[in-house]
Amino acid sequence: MLTSLFPQAHTRYTTLPVLGGSLEGLCAWLVNLGYPLSAVRRRIEGAPLLDKCLQQRDIHSLTGCTATQLRACFPRQKRWTAQIAYSLGRSLMTYLEEQGELTAPPPTPSERLLDAYCHHLGRVRGLAPSRIRLHWSYCAQFLRFLRYDVNVQCLSEVRIGVLEAFLTETANRLGRITMQTVVATLRSFLRFLTLSGIVPAGLDRQLESPRHYRDERFIRALSWDDVISLLNTVNRSTVKGTRDYAMLLLIATYGLRISEVASLQLEDIQWRARVIRVPRPKIGTSLDMPLTDEVATALLEYLRHRKSEESERHVFLRVRVPRGPIQPYAVAEAFYFWSERANVHPPGLGGPHCLRHALAMHLLRQGTSIKTIGDLLGHRNPESTGIYLRLQVQDLHDVALPLPITAVGPEVMA
């Protein structure tokens, strides 16, 4: 591969003291991921600088090197060659991790404690992996606040004042509703530590959750005219445009969550039966819904433009290398991208979730029952559906009683 990329200068790269033996396999790995040869060539051109940086850090072989040591050697300058070397380093680190050639560093005390806690969450409490990752994130912040890796005995000395100091610091960057999750996570972690005999009992009961009043948030639904305007703005002459249009149309038609759009498989679309099976990982079941003509046309238009990859069964793939299925945040990025061009301003917190709210409001105004709307949105509790159906001021105009002006006499005015 190096010989074909650099017919005249391939020995310049194969003879590098540290990286020379890994570049051939790295090139083949990048090509398999879908990188064009020009991009692979540019990355390899940064190998001499990266090799020099490794030697300056006393790394003379990749054998026995950890990801942390390798990452510390990446050049950070803003010059072009340094940027190319940095990109090469990131690709090299991922390649070596997949090949199992990087040495795993010993786990820190925090990592060992969090591993035990997450094992407890999965095996004892049965939490979903996404929820376990959320617990890991907040509890890791708490342990960093305590500097647990420096002093593992600090947990036995934790009292309510330390917990309040952590929550006060965290509240400076998070809202009240998110802080409710932080407090609930910290309570769960403290109960686990109590069962493990690390902290005294009762600390979890001393934490008070921030108050959040039902329906205090403003309406988050886009108007249906804005939804139509957003969909019509998407440029469907490109692969990205056809993909983004299909993703946004799925949310506007079926009220899908962004994770459900990203996880959609080709097997979930039953063309002959005209049924689409929507995965509902949040509730652990799937929902079969009719495949409308508009959605079927949008999906077919995208699949015809999409590069065929027989081994990839996800419907929506990345349009840029490396190839592979999209992540949920890609759906949100597509929504923000086209909302800006359509001059549509999402209310409240914004995000593609407001399309779910818009669909719920649209169906309610068409006379659809709340039970049907809740089933479509994947809700088990009608109160969850009620959050989506908070009426706007314009809806209140229709139920307001006329002011009885004729009943007001001169004596009342006096």
Token digits for 117?
């806690």
The domain limits of the chain are 2-99, 109-206, 224-396
Query: What distance in Å separates the CA atoms of residue 314 and residue 267, rounded to the nearest whole number?
Result: 9
- Nearest CA-CA partner of 250 in 229, 269, 236, 235: 269
302: left (phi over 0), alpha (psi -120 to 50) or beta: alpha
Instruction: Tell the burial category of 107 from Cβ atoms under 10 Å away from its Cβ (0-12, 13-18, 19+).
Output: exposed
Sign of the C-alpha dihedral, residues 210, 194, 135, 374?
A: negative
- pLDDT band for position 413 (cuts 50, 70, 90): very low
User: What is the average pLDDT across 363-386?
Assistant: 78
Task: Report pLDDT digits (tens) over 128-147.
Answer: 888 899 999 999 999 999 99
Task: Report pLDDT digits (tens) over 204-231.
Answer: 999 888 876 666 666 667 888 999 999 9
The residues that bridge with 275 in the sheet, in sequence order, are 270, 290
Question: Among the listed ranges 93-102, 282-291, 308-317, 397-406, which one has the minimum average pLDDT value?
Answer: 397-406
Please indicate whether residue 257 is annotated as part of the active site.
yes
Looking at residue 394, its pLDDT comes to 60
CATH class, domain 224-396, is mainly alpha
Query: What distance in Å separates the CA atoms of residue 20 and residue 89, rounded to the nearest whole number?
Result: 14
**Long-range contacts of 369-372, Cβ-Cβ distance < 8 Å, separation of 24 or more:** none
User: What is the average pLDDT across 303-314?
Assistant: 78
Task: Please name the residue ranges forming H helices in 124-175.
Answer: 129-146, 160-171
Please indicate whether residue 353 is annotated as part of the active site.
yes
Please indicate whether residue 336 is annotated as part of the active site.
no
- pLDDT band for position 412 (cuts 50, 70, 90): very low
Looking at residue 78, its pLDDT comes to 75
- Nearest CA-CA partner of 132 in 143, 113, 119: 119
Token digits for 227?
């939804």
* Average pLDDT of every residue of the chain: 86
Q: Which of 135, 243, 356, 357 is catalytic?
A: 356
Q: Which of 43, 120, 135, 353 is catalytic?
A: 353
CATH class, domain 109-206, is mainly alpha
Phi, psi (5° rounding) for residue 288?
-90, 125
Q: Which of 282, 314, 323, 390 is catalytic?
A: 282
Cβ pair 146, 158 in contact under 8 A: yes
Percent of the residues in the chain that have a pLDDT greater than 70, as a whole number: 89
Please indicate whether residue 282 is annotated as part of the active site.
yes
- Helix, coil or strand: residue 283: coil
Question: Among the listed ranges 4-8, 119-123, 194-198, which one has the minimum average pLDDT value?
Answer: 4-8
pLDDT at residue 71 is higher than 80: yes
Q: Which of 43, 240, 357, 379 is catalytic?
A: 379
